[in-house]
Structure 1
Amino acid sequence: MTAAASGGAGGEPNRALVTVSIMLATIMQALDTTIANVALPHIQGSMSATQDQISWVLTSYIVAAAIMTPPTGFLAARFGRKRIFAVSIIGFTVASMLCGAATSLPEIVAFRLLQGMFGAGLVPLSQSVLLDTYPKEQHGQAMAIWGMGVMVGPILGPTLGGYLTDLYSWRYTFYVNLPFGALALTGILLFVHETERDGRRPFDLFGFALLSIAIGALQMMLDRGQSQDWFSAREIIFEAVAAGLFFYLFLVQMFTAEHPFLEPKLFTDRNLAVGLFFIFIVGIVLLATLALLPPFLQDLMGFPVLTAGLVLAPRGIGTMAAMFLVGRLIRRVDIRLLVLFGLGMTAYSLWQMAEFTTEVSSWTVIRSGMTQGMGLGFLFVPLSTVTFATLDPKLRTEGASMFSLMRNIGSSIGISVVVTLLAENTQVLHSALAAHVSPLNPMMHAPFLPGAWSLGSTAGLAALNQQITDQALTIGYLDDFRLMMWLVLGAIPFLLLLRSPKRTAQRQAEMAAALD
């Protein structure tokens, strides 16, 4: 038993203080995945940057975090989990303050790189600490608490970011991390126990370099693909080839090296492998939906930034309610049934969104958001529990790193796909709708059409073109929601591959009894 585990088995007050400290670190990192998005136009104006240049403020953080997530397990094993956790919080908080104080674009991009590097390990480290702090029969409740930070943070990020930017300045979207970081660091230094250090474990620098280049190239391709017109640009082709080639070389290295960067036996655990697939789907739905809804509400429905944030915020209430319920149900109901229910609610919410119009009521948007929040809550907690139910405790930090990495890659791929499809479908639909605009079409002379849509004036044609663009864009959004709905439904059969933790425990007990 590790020190962390033994410490976690102690009294309830100590466990509660560990949980609070972990949650503060988790929320701080989770908020930063979306809080800066709302402030981006203000940062762009302050830095006198172009649209392409300002995107590096987001890209630099994503790429750095993606590259530094996999080595979290090794660093925790070599130097001690508590020590790495504390360094990560200090680095992330200091980098956040530097981002807020930046005076030029190169400065804020460099500081965002540092923020991503230090923040990469916060989520997997917090997950592994909670799993060791709570006994196995309470892992469901622990993951419910942890999941609130991971899932609610990105949802509330745009609301908090919009409020701070409007009331104060975009710089406060970074300064807000200071109190979270200070409290989390204090709690972790006081209440989290250190793990045993494995100084003999070698570091596979070559394997890490191969994986880093593969992840970095993939992220760059996804982030810049839309602006560069995808594979019509040499840059995107080069990044795609580099991602595929270096990932293949990494797999060769992983299965042939004596001490690989990632343990191959990590992926022989069926629940972990299937869990990584499902968290990839969760990543697509969670952040891709949040990438689509704000511009839909603001550009098509005319909502102000703060109003859009307030309409989106109740989905966080749905997530918290679901996690509160699932924490109580997880020991009484088959985990796979809870995951199935979560997938069903998520798919239903996406079907509701696929029925939106530009005149949809705020209550309908709130209701579908709360439904999706509850669906993701019912999905995330049991999934986090069952994924690690059969994994060797020694591999938990590495497994948690891969869990976090797959969620982030799913988010990147999901956002890139839906944004690309939105742009392409809007163009195709605009052409299809515009083909019906002709003086020869009797419907163009219908008495109920607005007089502003006159085909005989420039102003009338402009107004008509704007209406066609809005309609084409609306259908494009609905097609994206429908695509994600089918993706969620298509994942349901893979539930059959998950092993129930209770059945696995019974099987292990029977085997032990047979050996005795």
Structure 2
Amino acid sequence: MTTQAAAAPDKLDGTVLKIAGVVVLGAIMSILDITVVSVALPTFQREFDATYAEVAWTMTGYTLALATVIPLSGWAADRFGTKRLYMLAVLLFTLGSALCATADSITQLIGYRVLQGLGGGMLMPLGMTIMTRAAGPARIGRLMAVLGIPMLLGPIGGPILGGWLIDAASWHWIFLINVPIGAIAVVYAYFALPKDAAEPSESFDFLGMLMLSPGLALFLYGLSSLPETGTITATKVWATMLVGAVLVVVFVLYSFRPRHPLLDLRLFRNRSLTVASVSLFVFIIAFMGAGLLFPSYFLQVRGESTLHAGLLMAPQGIGAMLTMPIAGTLADKIPVGRTVPFAMALIAVGFFAFTQVGTDTSYLLLCGSLFVMGLGMGGTMMPIMTSALRTLSAHDTARGSTLVNILQQIGSSAGAAIMSVILTSRLNGSPEIPGLTDPNSGKPVTEAGAAIAIQQGAPLPVEPSIFDRGIAFVADSFATTFWVGFALVLCTFIPIAFLPRKREAARVTDTVSDLDGGKAAPAPTLIH
């Protein structure tokens, strides 16, 4: 049966939901893996006798692989077809997961994580492209709501799952669990995804790849090194960020010359895409960066276990699940500029409570605030993505989703680096404990450092009064960092004010007249 996207029914039919199931399964693997591994870092230190800086590369290597491969996704989707490429991405991710479980050294684990990232980096942009083409422009909001569930639940379910697997089995299972899920996803994708036509006529932009992929990787490497060094003046930070930024800028200037650039920045001529992309970028920096510190507060200040910290974050996911389907439906019927500001207001109200945290702040208040933030999250991220993609032609969808995913990756890395540096610099200002040194580094132990170590089970010989001062200092450091995050959340209202407030006509033809000299292609078709 051949169905045009323009004639798609108002509701999501069974065929579209089956396709959405494939994409959600892949997204769950990719996103959960990031947060699950973050929980296992202390375990990696112990198992491989490595420093924190070394084991942190299991996260950094994965992130850099994502940044390297995401720009290739748009061209590869056009060249090889989304179905085949999506199945290849799942296979790469699954193979990398299996190899991670066999690692005998931290170096091997980092290498296998890079392989995982090469597959994981393609899953999200390809998934967004597949779902957008399947649903048609009129139903993008509802499809994005479906895709948004794993994006919001990953940071919550990851710590819970990771903590449980490590306690009940071993660290190997945080990777082995992906193997059966990946096998199911490949078989599911083979039968559920429709055949799609590749477009081998487009040439690959090798010169663009040599500039953009290394540029992004170097820039994000410098950002990721900020928390470790604590200063932007460190050579490994400023030098790599500078070289990466130069490569990216040169790529931007170059990208308007070839007919088929690696990353089509000419899509930013579309005002809806531009405004939505800027809004999403600022939002990701503000919320994702500070959001990563919420579980850390429960772990380091309140002394909760990893499993309990994950459970305390659950109200945020519950709130998002309640509003996300509603927001997805509204995004298809009401301009996002009329709904997103109200959702952002909920996030700001909920976030404010964390600027007041102390050593004994009520869990009822904090969980209630997380629930309110979840309500806002469910009504923010996916509607903004919908606004970014709904006015693009079917031909441009793969390129547009690649742009959006790159901005997400840069924003998330920047937000995490900014918040981590602020928190670390605050904690480093804690007074030192006379006569107490770290046995590994030989450096003096601060009151804050001792308090955090004791909360996490280390038997340090510290007087109760010193512990009380240290833990109060840690709580105050978190509150200060959350004030910065709150200010960034308020800044998000500026680009959101420019989101469309009038109903836009969705693109239902594959018109590329603005790029290719006025020639329009026929409307896209989906063959089931």
Q: What's the TM-score, normalizing by structure 2?
A: 0.85
Q: Which runs of 5+ in 2 are unaligned?
A: 432-459, 510-528
User: What letter is aligned with 2:494?
Assistant: P
Partner of 1:372: 373
Pairing of 1:360-509 with structure 2 (within 5 A): 360-428=361-429, 430=430, 463-500=464-501, 502-504=503-505
Partner of 1:130: 131
User: What letter is aligned with 2:366?
Assistant: V
Aligned equivalents of 1:489 and 1:204: distance in 2? 39
Tell me by how many angstroms 1:8 deviates: 8.0
Tell me by how many angstroms 1:168 deviates: 1.0
Aligned equivalents of 1:461 and 1:53: distance in 2? 28
Tell me by how many angstroms 1:90 deviates: 0.8
Aligned equivalents of 1:399 and 1:2: distance in 2? 25
User: What letter is aligned with 2:418?
Assistant: V
Partner of 2:195: 194
Partner of 1:29: 30
| Residue-by-residue CA offset, 1:219-250 (whole Å, 9 max, x unaligned) | 11111122224333222221122022111211
SS in 2 for 1:255: coil
Q: Does the 8 A contact of 2:350 with 2:370 survive in 1?
A: yes
Q: Which runs of 5+ in 1 are unaligned?
A: 432-458, 509-516
| Residue-by-residue CA offset, 1:421-465 (whole Å, 9 max, x unaligned) | 11223345x46xxxxxxxxxxxxxxxxxxxxxxxxxxx9995544
Aligned equivalents of 1:143 and 1:385: distance in 2? 7
Partner of 1:20: 21
SS in 2 for 1:120: helix
Q: Does the 8 A contact of 2:358 with 2:475 survive in 1?
A: yes
Partner of 2:56: 55
Q: Does the 8 A contact of 1:73 with 1:397 survive in 2?
A: yes
Partner of 1:64: 65
Q: Does the 8 A contact of 2:355 with 2:480 survive in 1?
A: yes
Tell me by how many angstroms 1:495 deviates: 2.6
Tell me by how many angstroms 1:505 deviates: 5.5
Change (3 A) 1:52 1:8: farther
Partner of 2:525: none
Partner of 2:100: 99
Q: Does the 8 A contact of 1:2 with 1:196 survive in 2?
A: no
Tell me by how many angstroms 1:327 deviates: 2.9
Aligned equivalents of 1:192 and 1:501: distance in 2? 34
For structure 1, which segment, 201-210 or 361-370, has the greater mean C-alpha deviation from structure 2 after superposition? Answer: 361-370
Aligned equivalents of 1:468 and 1:212: distance in 2? 46
Q: What's the TM-score, normalizing by structure 1?
A: 0.87
Aligned equivalents of 2:103 and 2:4: distance in 1? 38
Select the structure that is richer in helix. Answer: 1
Is 1:238 aligned to 2:242, yes or no?
no
User: What letter is aligned with 1:106?
Assistant: T
Change (3 A) 1:328 1:251: closer
Pairing of 1:112-191 with structure 2 (within 5 A): 112-191=113-192
Tell me by how many angstroms 1:472 deviates: 2.5
Aligned equivalents of 2:149 and 2:463: distance in 1? 47
Q: Does the 8 A contact of 1:386 with 1:501 survive in 2?
A: no
SS in 2 for 1:404: helix
User: What letter is aligned with 1:67?
Assistant: T
Partner of 2:271: 270
User: What letter is aligned with 2:187?
Assistant: T
Is 1:292 aligned to 2:281, yes or no?
no
User: What letter is aligned with 2:425?
Assistant: E
- How many residue pairs get aligned? The number is 481
Aligned equivalents of 2:129 and 2:297: distance in 1? 37
User: What letter is aligned with 1:193?
Assistant: P
Aligned equivalents of 1:29 and 1:193: distance in 2? 22
Aligned equivalents of 1:22 and 1:460: distance in 2? 51
Tell me by how many angstroms 1:64 deviates: 0.4
Partner of 2:517: none
Q: Does the 8 A contact of 2:225 with 2:236 survive in 1?
A: no
Aligned equivalents of 1:47 and 1:7: distance in 2? 57
Partner of 1:456: none
Aligned equivalents of 1:479 and 1:101: distance in 2? 41
Q: Does the 8 A contact of 2:30 with 2:123 survive in 1?
A: yes
Tell me by how many angstroms 1:362 deviates: 2.2
Partner of 1:211: 212
Q: Does the 8 A contact of 1:4 with 1:193 survive in 2?
A: no
Tell me by how many angstroms 1:58 deviates: 0.7
User: What letter is aligned with 2:251?
Assistant: F
Tell me by how many angstroms 1:137 deviates: 2.4
Aligned equivalents of 1:62 and 1:400: distance in 2? 18
Q: Does the 8 A contact of 1:389 with 1:501 survive in 2?
A: no
Change (3 A) 1:249 1:2: farther
Aligned equivalents of 1:404 and 1:473: distance in 2? 34
| Residue-by-residue CA offset, 1:462-515 (whole Å, 9 max, x unaligned) | 554443332232222112212222212222132343235724469x9xxxxxxx
Aligned equivalents of 1:42 and 1:234: distance in 2? 29
Change (3 A) 1:465 1:107: same
Change (3 A) 1:83 1:4: farther
SS in 1 for 2:71: coil
Q: Does the 8 A contact of 1:35 with 1:161 survive in 2?
A: yes
Q: Does the 8 A contact of 2:137 with 2:506 survive in 1?
A: no
Partner of 1:513: none
Aligned equivalents of 1:305 and 1:361: distance in 2? 19
| Residue-by-residue CA offset, 1:109-147 (whole Å, 9 max, x unaligned) | 111000001110101111111111113322211111111
Partner of 1:440: none
Change (3 A) 1:126 1:2: farther
Tell me by how many angstroms 1:417 deviates: 0.7
| Residue-by-residue CA offset, 1:25-69 (whole Å, 9 max, x unaligned) | 111111112111111111221122111111111110000011111
For structure 1, which segment, 114-123 or 224-233, has the greater mean C-alpha deviation from structure 2 after superposition? Answer: 224-233
Aligned equivalents of 1:140 and 1:267: distance in 2? 20
Aligned equivalents of 1:468 and 1:182: distance in 2? 51
Partner of 1:322: 323
Q: Does the 8 A contact of 2:219 with 2:240 survive in 1?
A: yes
Aligned equivalents of 2:218 and 2:419: distance in 1? 20
Partner of 1:434: none
Q: Does the 8 A contact of 1:88 with 1:118 survive in 2?
A: yes
Change (3 A) 1:160 1:255: same
Q: Does the 8 A contact of 1:390 with 1:501 survive in 2?
A: no
Is 1:357 aligned to 2:358, yes or no?
yes
SS in 2 for 1:406: helix
Bigger Cα Rg? 1
User: What letter is aligned with 1:323?
Assistant: M
User: What letter is aligned with 2:52?
Assistant: Q
Tell me by how many angstroms 1:306 deviates: 1.4
Q: CA RMSD in A?
A: 2.7
Tell me by how many angstroms 1:72 deviates: 0.3
User: What letter is aligned with 1:474?
Assistant: A
| Residue-by-residue CA offset, 1:361-406 (whole Å, 9 max, x unaligned) | 2222211111111111110121121111222221111111121121
| Residue-by-residue CA offset, 1:49-104 (whole Å, 9 max, x unaligned) | 11111111111000001111111000000111111001001111111111112121
| Residue-by-residue CA offset, 1:276-324 (whole Å, 9 max, x unaligned) | 2222233224432342122211221111221111111221111111112
Tell me by how many angstroms 1:7 deviates: 12
User: What letter is aligned with 2:105?
Assistant: S
Partner of 2:46: 45
Q: Does the 8 A contact of 1:3 with 1:193 survive in 2?
A: no
Change (3 A) 1:353 1:249: same
Sequence identity percentage: 27
